[in-house]
Structure 1
Amino acid sequence: MKIDNSPPRGTRDLLPDGVAARDHALAKITEVYRRYGYHRIETPALEDIRRLKGGEGGENEKLIFQVLKRGLDEVVEGGTRLPDLVDLGLRFDLTVPLVRFYANNHATLPSPFRAFQFAPVWRAERPQKGRYRQFYQCDIDLIGEASVLAEIELIEATTEALDAVGLTDTTVRLSDRRFLSALAHHVGLDQSQWPGFFISLDKLDKIGWDGVRTELVEKRDLPATAVDQTRSIIEGLVGLDPSKVADRISDAVPAVPDDVVADMATTVAGLTALGATRPVRWEFDPTLVRGMGYYTAQIFEVSHPASSSSVAGGGRFDSLVGRSLGRDVPACGFSLGFERIIDLIPTTPARAALAVLVEQDVPVHHAMRHAREARAEGREVTVVRRSGKLPAQLGRLEAQGFTGFVHLRSADGTAEPERPLGSAG
């Protein structure tokens, strides 16, 4: 039986131009994060399935690719449970592996620790445009900093990284999980109802208030009065002037703790100061929830008008490290939606590639010498054998991204002067 050569459903091959665009963007992002003191780490693609299913991955835990134990028989006993067959899984994000990494290596790491990750993750998504089962994430995390210095730095660094790759016209959306918890308490919901309340509220931008109300009241059996009160409070907090955010959330939800209001005021002041130095648009968004269950305080996303989903997101996850280490460690992170960003970048980086075009009777060592000399100048150089009609071959080279060529005609290896492609016939 012939095997289909297409990549598995929900994945894709990347051609050289596509990889070049990604490498260019990654280099820009890496340079920005390096200037802020974030250093690259790597973790395995596989993690213990118990860690991945620890209850803090939100809806993504349903999308884990699970890996069968080694040494299983071809046929297993009837009635065998799946947990008895699986011990590992492919990571669905980079935060859960980071926490394990930190717990394992914290004794040798500086405090606070600034980590940068760029790596593939896997989710058993239903394949559709813009959603892949294998995709790359690009994360920075600051572990060991308890103050909102972490949030402000992460937002500043990430918005600068987006600017560096040419993604402008973005908006930072800011909220706080503690505010949302206080809101749920204020409208009379039992704490056991909060997770479902948050999950439905997070769908507001997709299904609207009518859809959220239907889901909360009819499917989750929450009181209609609580849902209507929630809507009234949230709509009163949308579009606030930055200088009034901290006061208004305290007035709207008196149960919000004072430290939450103070943290929000500090973050607002930091973003306002940043906006005085370069264009940074941001807003307080009381509907922002973020799907992961491990967020504990401020949360944020970056939106772009050309994308129906956020292009970056993150927040504080102070309790997550403690579950692996046995003691609480403050932590905050920001993840770039790398695949979405690549799709939104307006141009592909230009190559400055030289073709050493060699006639059939020119010895190979002469061609390699010319290429070697050009590479010593830091240039990208490829040796290409002459074939077919010269204008047609030059056209093919130009289409492949070459910008210039030298033509070796004689057996002694003498080269004609370098010429830009498109100028010769």
Structure 2
Amino acid sequence: MKIDNSPARGTRDLLPAAVAVRDHVLSTITEVYGRYGYQRIETPALERIERLSGGQGGENEKMIFQVLRRGLPERIEAGTDLAELVDMGLRYDLTVPLARFYGQHRGELPTPFRSFQFGPVWRAERPQKGRYRQFYQCDIDMVGEPGTLAEAELIEATTQALNRVGLTGTTVRISDRRFLSALATEAGVPAEEQDGFFITLDKLDKIGWDGVAAELEKRGFGSDVVSAARDRIEALGEVAGDKLSATLSDVLPSLPDAVLDDLATTATCLSDIGVQNSVSWEFDPTLVRGMGYYTGHIFEVTAPDAAGSVAGGGRYDNLIGRSLGTDVPACGFSIGFERIVDLLSEPPAQERLAVLYDSEVPTPTVLASARELRAGGRSVAPVGRSGKFAAQLKRLEDAGFTAFVHLRAGDETGTLAERPLRGEN
């Protein structure tokens, strides 16, 4: 039987040049986050299904890859509930596993705990360009810090990391789930219906106000509710940072002072960060984000050449409590690793030297030559001579080598002459 060698639908193989870009992005981000004190952890790909489907993952819970229990018979009786067959699932993000991790290891961790994660996640997406069923996420989180220092530091570290990998001219968009709840309440949306209201409002940048109004009316919201929400949102467009608190207080009198104070403090920090990292920021009253676990500030970062955000996150003070039985303040930021890699199409320049050796050269001599050339910290790989010389040099250049030495029988290591590949073929 002939076996299909293509990767599973919605996944992909990565060639060395693509991996070089990914390694560069990851090492740069890791170095920046390390300087801010974030420590790398790892969590398993599999989590218990009840944790993944606990109602906090928003639309992502509909895309969980569920894993059958061990030891099931080959045939299942008709009418068996799926819940009886499944006990695990592949993680769809890194935040839910972090909450479980912290609940399990809290006594071994400092407060606040600065966490850094990088790894694959899985969602049963409809495969299309730029959207895969397996992809990588890159997260930092601060657990145990109740104040806006967490939000400000996460934004500062992440925008600096994006600058370092080559994404400049970014904009930070910020809002707050408590603000959105007050907005919906004053517009006449009952508390139990606000999740559906927010899901539709989140589509505003794609379908416009007419589309949002039509969807909300299908959900049973009257035109008066839509109009009240729109009036308040439009009154908050392009508010200057130093006037944000006063404007919010005027538009939403029911908004608690604690929310106004938090947003005012974050606005001041964002202005300072913008000067340091050359980024701009804005308050976006339509920013929702899809996860159900957010409880306070939410934020996203956009870049000039990117369709959609390149990073996003927010505060989720209640999620870890599901593991501990008591709430723990927490805030996190996720970088859109795959999207950033797609924007950076060229790997960083790196010297790679090929030791091209004839078949008559003894293997110990080949290895000794490569070892000596590698001593300076360069990447050196022996490659046997084959075919036409010019054609082989072209293949080496295509493979990412930048220079070569030609090792012939009788050559001494000290007399090897390096030659650049470019221009030799």
- TM-score tier by shorter-chain length is over 0.9
Q: How does 1:19-38 map to 2 (within 5 A)?
A: 19-38=19-38
The residue number in structure 2 matching 1:327 is 326
> Aligned partners of 1:142 and 1:233: how far apart in 2?
32
Q: Aligned partner of 2:306: which letter?
A: S
Return the alpha-carbon distance in structure 1 between the equivalents of residues 416 and 374 of structure 2. 18
Instruction: Tell whether the 8 Å contact from 1:217 to 1:223 is kept in structure 2 after alignment.
Output: yes
Q: Tell me what 1:171 maps to.
A: 171
Deviations 1:200-249 (A, max 9, x none): 1111111111111111112x101210111101111111111121111111
**Structure-1 separation of matches of 2:87 and 2:367:** 52
Counterpart Cα distance in 2 of 1:288 and 1:265: 17
Higher mean displacement: 44-53 or 233-242: 233-242
Aligned 8 A contact 1:362 1:413 in 2: no
Q: What amino acid is aligned across from residue 60 of structure 1 in structure 2?
A: N
In the alignment, which residue of structure 2 is the partner of 1:62?
A: 62
2:142 and 2:214 map into 1 onto residues whose CA distance is: 39
Query: Aligned in 2, Cα 1:151/1:110: closer, same or farther, shift over 3 Å?
Result: same
Match of 1:15 in 2: 15
Query: Which residue number corresponds to residue 84 of structure 2?
Result: 84
Residue equivalent to 1:409: 408
Q: Is the 8 A contact 1:49 1:89 kept in 2?
A: yes
**What is residue 156 of structure 1 aligned with on the other side?**
156
* Counterpart code for 1:212: V
Q: Distance in 2 between matches of 1:185 and 1:61?
A: 26
Matched, 1:287 2:294: no
Q: How much does 1:163 deviate?
A: 0.3
Q: Separation in 2 of the partners of 1:11 and 1:391? A: 36
Contact 2:55–2:292 (Cα < 8 Å) also in 1: yes
Q: Note the residue ranges of structure 1 that are not aligned, 5 or more in a row.
A: none
CA contact (8 A) 2:21 2:345 kept: no
Residue 143 of structure 1 pairs with residue 146 of structure 2: no
1:190 counterpart letter in structure 2: P
DSSP 3-state at the match of 1:381: strand
The one-character-per-residue Cα deviations of 1:224-282 (angstroms, maximum 9, x if unpaired) are 10111101111111111121111111111111110000000000000112223331111
- 2:62 maps to a residue whose letter is K
- Amino acid across the alignment from 1:139: D
- The CA distance in 2 between the partners of 1:300 and 1:398, in whole Å, is 43
CA contact (8 A) 2:160 2:277 kept: no
**Quick one: distance in 2 between partners of 1:367 and 1:413?**
10
Using the alignment, how far apart are the partners of 1:15 and 1:399 within structure 2?
12
Q: What corresponds to 1:103 in structure 2?
A: 103
User: How far off its partner does 1:413 sit?
Assistant: 4.5
One-letter amino acid matched to 1:259: A
List runs of 5+ in structure 2 lacking aligned partners: none
Q: Which amino acid aligns with 1:315?
A: G
SS in 2 for 1:114: strand
SS in 2 for 1:21: helix
Q: Shift in Å at residue 412 of structure 1?
A: 5.1
Give 2:346's aligned residue.
347
> 1:308 deviation in Å?
2.2
Q: 1 CA distance for matches of 2:131 and 2:411?
A: 55
- Summarize deviations over 1:357-395 as a string: whole Å, max 9, x none: 101111111111010112221110110111122122111
| In 2: Cα distance, 1:412 partner to 1:166 partner | 43
Q: Which aligned pairs between 1:359-398 and structure 2 lie closer than 5 A?
A: 359-398=358-397
Quote the residue 1:421 is aligned against.
421
Task: Determine the C-alpha separation between the residues in 2 that align with 1:347 and 1:387.
Answer: 29
Q: CA 1:281 to 1:95, structure 2 compared with 1: closer, same or farther past 3 Å? A: same
Which residue is 1:53 aligned to? 53
Deviations 1:297-337 (A, max 9, x none): 00000112322221100000001111211111100000001
Residues in 1 aligned to 2:332 and 2:362: alpha-carbon distance in whole angstroms: 56
The answer to whether the 8 Å contact 1:367/1:413 transfers is no
- Cα distance between partner residues in 2 of 1:280 and 1:307: 15
Whole-angstrom CA distance in 2 between matches of 1:412 and 1:401: 25
CA shift, 1:355, in A, is: 0.4
Summarize deviations over 1:166-193 as a string: whole Å, max 9, x none: 0112111000000000011111211111
1:247 aligns with 2:246: yes
**1:51-82 Cα deviation digits (max 9, x unpaired):** 00000000000000000000111110010011
Equivalent pairs, count? 424
TM-aligned CA deviation for residue 424 of structure 1:
3.6
Q: What is the CA distance between 1:346 and its match in structure 2?
A: 5.1
Deviates more, 1:349-358 or 1:291-300: 349-358
Instruction: Measure, in 1, the Cα distance between the counterparts of 2:24 and 2:384.
Output: 29
Residues 72-126 of structure 1, C-alpha deviation per residue, up to 9 Å, x if partnerless?
1111001001111000000000000000000000001000000000000000000
Partner of 1:207: 207
Does the CA-based 8 Å contact 2:159-2:277 persist in structure 1? Answer: no
**Matched position secondary structure for 1:12:** coil
Are the aligned partners of 1:172 and 1:281 in contact in 2 as well (CA < 8 Å)? yes
Given that 2:274 and 2:281 are in contact with CA atoms closer than 8 Å, whether structure 1 keeps it comes out as no
Find the residue that maps to 2:301 and give its secondary structure: strand
Query: How far has the Cα of 1:420 moved from its partner?
Result: 1.2
Contact 1:363–1:413 under 8 Å retained in 2:
no
Amino acid at match of 1:28: T
The answer as to whether partners of 1:11 and 1:133 remain within 8 angstroms in 2 is yes
Separation (CA, whole Å) in 2 of partners of 1:54 and 1:278: 38
Alignment root-mean-square deviation, CA: 1.1
| Contact preservation (8 Å) 2:21, 2:344 | no
Is the Cα–Cα contact under 8 Å of residues 363 and 411 in structure 1 kept in the other structure? Answer: no
Greater mean deviation of Cα atoms: 312-321 or 347-356: 347-356
**Match in the other structure for 1:303:** 302
1:141–1:333 contact (8 Å) kept in structure 2: yes
Secondary structure of residue in 2 paired with 1:71: coil
